[in-house]
Structure 1
Amino acid sequence: MSEIIKHECGIALIRLLQPMEYYQEKYGTALYGLEKLKLLLQKQRNRGQDGVGIATIKLDPKPGTKYISRKRNVTPNNYLTELFEEIWAKHFRPLSDKQLSDAVWMKDHLPYVGELLLGHLRYGTHGDNSIETCHPFLRQNNWINRNLLLAGNFNLTNVDELFQELVDLGQYPKEKSDTVTVLEKIGHFLDDEVQRLHTWFKPDGYTNMEINDFIFEKLDIQRLLRRASKRFDGGYVMCGLIGHGDAFVMRDPNGIRPAFYYHDDEIVVVASERPAIQTALDVHINSVKEITPGHALIIKKGGRVEELPFTDTSERKCCSFERIYFSRGNDRDIYLERKKLGRQLVDPILEAVGYDFENTVFSFIPNTAETAFMGMIEGIYESLDEIREKKLISALEEGKLKAKKIEKIMSIKPRIERLVVKDEKVRTFIADTTARGRLVSHVYDVTYGLVHNDTDTLVLMDDSIVRGTTLRDSIIEIASRLRPKKIIVVSSAPQIRYPDCYGIDMSKMGEFVAFKALVDLLKNDGREHLLEEAYQRCKAQENLPKELIRNEVQSLYDLYTDQQISKQIAKIVTPKGIKPKIEVIYQSVAGLHEACPDNNGDWYFSGNYPTPGGNKVVNRAFINYMEKRDERAY
């Protein structure tokens, strides 16, 4: 993606199912779990560059000993390396070889040597970037079975509603954020379930310590999560560790956010991306399973592992942006889907260049669009084979099929070059706005001497276009210096028209270049009054229950074709004073679904939100735009 948007988060959970000395004997280290946690986080570092946090819990600790350890780090650039280096340097590097080989001693005397491990990579969509905003969050209690660690990849659209429920229960949450609200919500029902069991067993004459053992065994995590999540509206994967040793990972009923797991007799591992598990444990793709939407993977203290429903499953709407851009492309299915996204754009691209292979140069905007570009090139070669065949047949029928003619036809091939490269980050420390803008325009550079002046058309593949500012101020500006006749920017994703409210930092309607194009078209056609009418409809629904709210922005987009909006976008992203003509080609929503049939969450493209809260968010974003409020819609 040529533009940076903050998104998602990454989670990693490990439960060691064997005694610590088992790993010492088999793998030569009692830190097997910690090493695997580090590797899982490293392989998912694309999912969070604002900070990292880890936590561990020891099973069966002696009263009075520390059994929960947590560390977080928000150091720019080196957050992950620094966190683990600090742990190693302080707790493990000073140890003798004898101490390092004694797994029982290490568990009894050192932090971070536990059977339950939880890691989180933060890519904050809002709020400050401080230690306090880093997961895992900890809810502490002297009762071991009421301690709760929580980390997740989620955004909820109805935090206000959930927060008020906590207040109505008599709580005083320390802040109004989705993470704290969820922590306290689950924590409240954890307390309730523990108390229910304690009340049940107490009349039978058991001691409190004996009742604790019963609670460890009988605590119904499925029931707890069902009660706690009853009013959740959003996309989420939430991982929890309970002080005595139970663990869970719950996934939203639409499967918006991704979660995968692996389980054998040694270990249970959960991560946001499948290849991270494959690499960390060296296991086959078929051994890694996806957590079913609306289900929780529940790991009991005794080692029982079950995947159980905690809510009604809704229509599968897994985030398609995961497939287009966010997840790393080394997942087999994602790699093939991205290639297909590029392949499907071949026909409109060739039509746009008039099938002129001689005077067209194909390239991509580094680096995440490279896979889609490869798919596009494969499709172009397939089309070229058909073109060659038709030309040969035509020449044969006309009696002109001679050696020179055959050679000319067979020599037709696409010109593929790496033209646009991302240069070293330009530090914009200059205060003057104009000067800073000039520096930003040089983030990208070009390869000179490969384009025929005023003759060639450049086709540049990107994987999505959000705001269009990078295209206008940097990529197109610098590419125009190659003096092409025309520049065609191709997006493997459809037009981003609506805000996201499930984990991606796209909440301000006025920032989307597609929305700007829509507004321009309405103004140019003298239909600007329709914006005011849509605004009034949004205001009329503002205080309705979210289940009754309709998306009032869709009807505005329905007034124009995709091609009309793309044409206006091309005008918006065209820098002033450049000579080449600019054209923009987008993937269609139907094409997206064909390429990613099992991950068809497309609300940012179509406006079809999978939860009621989405419609409330899009209307709020539109109201903010009309009222000139520069603030988030949720």
Structure 2
Amino acid sequence: MCGILGLLLHDSNIDAAPEIFEGLQLLQHRGQDACGIITCGPGGRFYQCKANGMVRDVFDANSISRLVGGMGVGHVRYPTAGSFNNAEAQPFYVNSPYGICFAHNGNLINTASLIQFMDEEAHRHINTASDSELLLNIFAHNLQQTGKFRINEEDIFTALGTMVTQVKGAYACVAMLAGFGIIAFRDPHGIRPVGIASRQSGSGKDYIMASESVVADAGGFTDWEDVKPGEAIIITRNGVTRRQISPPATFAPDIFEFVYLARPDSVIDGVSVYRSRMSMGDALADKVKKVLDEAGITVDVVIPVPDTSRVAALNLAQKLGLPYREGFVKNRYVGRTFIMPGQQMRKKNVRKKLNAMALEFADKNVLIVDDSIVRGTTSKEIIQMAKDVGAKKVIVASCAPPIRHPNVYGIDMPSRTELVAYNRDEKAIAKEIGADLAIFQTLPDLEDSVRQWNPKITSFDCSVFNGEYVTGGIDEEYFRHIDSIRADNVRGKLQLNTADINGKDTKEAQNYTNSSTPVTGTDDTVGLHNTFTSYTPK
């Protein structure tokens, strides 16, 4: 769950960095671990600033002013493989061939064989544990096979087409070639989102590429269009060229984007996230009514867990004719607990993030609506908070079905055994989180809630709910690998180990990476200041 952004301004004398900075803030919900911007200035020189931390903390007026150039790439990140190393902040960069910057959202599932290929055949060094750097180097290797001093759009499409046959998994990417332009492409199944938009600028047009349409809306861009599954789009100051780089495959966007990940004011693959969540609330209301009637329980009030479940909870309350109340007050200066590393940190931050108002809970049967229940840590704390301020009964309703399987396509789901629904039915889940009753949306109802807004989407990636992985290639050995790197006890050790980066303490390492100077002419992007020559397209 990362956020990617690319921007090309028609007027090359205007710096793109300030607008990329604003766009990354709008994508901050997609990643709070690290962020970065690389721009391309005169002569094809790249300038970068990236580090661990939130967008507002990594960038200031001085660092932004030093990011020179009318086009650039930005990224907000959170790790899916257990590493918090500063060196894995994106965008990544390679100097050969031509100078390429790269931002990636997703996850590859055949990294072991790809690393072997890079080592034994491509002879390219992968400096981090990030599959994003691996993907960049595969693209760079394929471009290098052209043997050309100058390349054109056809060469880029060919390189990307070859790459699609080599990699498996989910990827939505934005790339930038020095002195050439920006590129967006998407995996054949369209699992992760990315789209493009334009706006008039003098005699030409500015172009933006981003994970979500809200970035384009805020910047005054129009004609938002999702990049099609298996499609690549190249934008230069001479225009837009697009090509299908892979044969047709099952279009299966990740349904969890609509449940939780995306902002409600975004439109993804033609579906309003806001409208889909309204529909989720309507469908969940029918399930809640049926279960409550069977249990002989009446509910006094509906309370959402802010913020993601608000839309669904309001529609549910309206349909059932129940009062809707904001019973939890949120501290907006605490990050999303779902993407916080470590069980203890998540547990500790729930109480810092939310405060229950006793007057909405005391002596009431409360229906708490949440978008989903993953580890159960947040739910357990929230339920206990409700009981601490006097709730008689606490019923929890989830807009999503029970999550029983790990996500392998770029969402940092925990290991299987850390999922609260793993090997538990709904009654056992309720007991584990301390609820009097736990009610879950059915998968058909969830799919219909999204599909009704774009009937052309016939399939979704629902693997976290049903264990069916659209790309194939997922077996028990892969699950054991996922468990070994995502378990909280492992992640805690990895986090401690990153205190020493290249012989530096954490603060020094962050300063070392956070450099708004021309980037290095090697594969390591964390601090040397050599520059490479400009590249002029043929």
TM-score norm. by structure 1 comes to 0.68
Structure 2 residue 410 is the aligned partner of structure 1 residue 475: no
Shift of 1:436: 9.8
Aligned residue pairs total 465
Q: Distance in 1 between matches of 2:317 and 2:177?
A: 51
In structure 2, the residue matched to 1:9 is 2
Partner of 1:43: 26
The DSSP-based 3-state class of the residue aligned with 2:183 is strand
Q: CA deviation at 1:216?
A: 4.1
Residue 328 of structure 1 aligns to a residue in which SS?
Answer: coil
- Is the counterpart of residue 182 in structure 1 residue 153 in structure 2? no
Number of the residue aligned with 1:234: 169
Change (3 A) 1:617 1:115: farther
Structure number with the bigger relative contact order (C-alpha 8 A, sep ≥ 6) is 2
* Identical counterparts, % of pairs: 25
**Greater strand content:** 2
In structure 1, C-alpha distance between the alignment counterparts of 2:404 and 2:320, rounded to whole Å: 29
| Residue identity in the other structure for 1:515 | Y
> Structure 1's 424 and 266: CA in aligned 2 closer, same or farther, altered over 3 A?
closer
Q: Secondary structure at the match of 2:473?
A: helix
Match of 1:447 among 334, 357, 375: 357
Residue 340 in 1 paired to residue 247 in 2? no
Hey, what does 1:83 align to over in structure 2? 59
1:609–1:615 contact (8 Å) kept in structure 2: no
Q: Structure 1's 494 and 177: CA in aligned 2 closer, same or farther, altered over 3 A?
A: same
- Residue 351 of structure 1, CA deviation: 3.2
Between structure 1 and structure 2, the one with the greater Rg is: 1
Aligned equivalent of 1:497, options 391, 395, 404 = 404
Residue 317 (str. 1) matches residue 260 (str. 2)? no
SS in 2 for 1:55: strand
Indicate yes or no: 2:288 matched with 1:349. Answer: yes
Q: What is the aligned partner in structure 1 of residue 448 from structure 2?
A: 594
Residue 161 (str. 1) matches residue 161 (str. 2)? no
CA offset digits 1:179-228 (Å, max 9, x no partner): 222122111111111x1xx4xxxxxxxxxxxxx5xx24465211011112
Matched-pair contact (CA < 8 Å) for 1:498–1:618: no
Compute the displacement of 1:18 (Å).
Answer: 4.3
Gaps of 5+ in 1: 1-7, 21-29, 92-111, 199-211, 382-413, 428-434, 518-564, 575-580
Match of 1:299, SS state, is: strand
- Flag the 1:605–1:137 CA change in 2: closer, same or farther, 3 A: same
Q: Take 1:150 and 1:376, find their aligned partners in 2: how far apart are those partners? A: 42
- After superposition, the Cα gap between the structure-2 partners of 1:47 and 1:573, relative to the gap in structure 1 and judged at 3 Å, is same
Q: What corresponds to 1:3 in structure 2? A: none
Residues 354/484 of structure 1: CA separation in 2 closer, same or farther (3 Å cut): farther
CA contact (8 A) 1:13 1:117 kept: yes
Name the counterpart of 1:539.
none
Give the Å deviation of 1:571: 1.5
Amino acid of the residue matched to residue 186 of structure 1?
F
- The within-5 A match list for 1:11-160 is 11-20=4-13, 30-31=14-15, 33-58=16-41, 61=43, 67-74=45-52, 76-77=53-54, 79-88=55-64, 91=66, 112-141=67-96, 146-160=98-112
Q: Contact 1:52/1:80 (CA < 8 Å) preserved in 2?
A: no
TM-fit CA distance, 1:420: 3.1
CA-to-partner distance for each residue in 1:403-436, whole Å, 9 max, x for gaps?
Answer: xxxxxxxxxxx23322233468899xxxxxxx99
User: What RMSD over aligned residues (CA atoms) do the two structures have, in Å?
Assistant: 3.0
SS at match of 1:344: helix
Cα distance in 1, alignment partners of residues 51 and 483 from structure 2: 37
Query: Hey, what does 1:571 align to over in structure 2?
Result: 431
Rounded Cα–Cα distance in structure 2 between residues aligned with 1:255 and 1:216:
27
Match of 1:418 among 326, 331, 342: 326
Q: CA deviation at 1:155?
A: 0.9
Cα offset, 1:331, TM superposition: 2.2
CA distance in 2, matches of 1:507, 1:440: 18
Task: Tell me if the contact between 2:305 and 2:328 (Cα under 8 Å) persists in the aligned partners.
Answer: yes
Is the partner of 1:513 in helix, strand or coil?
coil
Aligned pairs for 1:149-548 within 5 A: 149-169=101-121, 171-175=123-127, 176-193=129-146, 195=147, 198=148, 212=149, 215-217=150-152, 220-263=155-198, 265-283=204-222, 287-300=223-236, 303-331=238-266, 333-354=272-293, 360-381=300-321, 414-422=322-330, 442-443=351-352, 444-451=354-361, 453=363, 456-472=364-380, 474-517=381-424
User: CA 1:268–1:170 in 2, change beyond 3 Å: closer, same or farther?
Assistant: closer
Partner of residue 207, structure 1 = none
CA distance in 1, matches of 2:345, 2:414: 26
Deviation track 1:367-426 (CA, whole Å, cap 9, x = no partner) reads 221111122123224xxxxxxxxxxxxxxxxxxxxxxxxxxxxxxxx2332223346889
Distance, in Å, in 2 between the alignment partners of 1:87 and 1:9 is 22
Equivalents in 1 of 2:291, 2:177: separation in Å? 58
Contact 1:343 1:375 in 2 (8 A): yes
TM-superposed CA distance for 1:630, in Å, is 6.3
Greater Cα offset, 485-494 or 263-272: 263-272
Q: Cα offset for 1:485?
A: 3.6
Query: Is the Cα–Cα contact under 8 Å of residues 197 and 221 in structure 2 kept in the other structure?
Result: no
Pair 1:604 & 2:448 matched: no
CA deviations over 1:490-542 (Å, ceiling 9, x no partner): 0001110101111111141100111141xxxxxxxxxxxxxxxxxxxxxxxxx
| CA distance 1:566–1:219, change in 2 (3 Å) | same
Length-normalised TM-score, structure 2: 0.79
1-structure distance, mates of 2:328, 2:220: 37
> Which residue identity lines up with residue 569 of structure 1 in the other structure?
I
1:135 Cα shift? 1.0
Deviation at 1:131, TM superposition (A): 3.2
Give CA deviations for 1:41-69 in whole Å, capped at 9, x if unaligned. Answer: 1211111211211111236x2xxxx7221
- Identify the structure with the greater helix proportion: 1
For 1:583, which of 409, 423, 437 is the aligned residue? 437
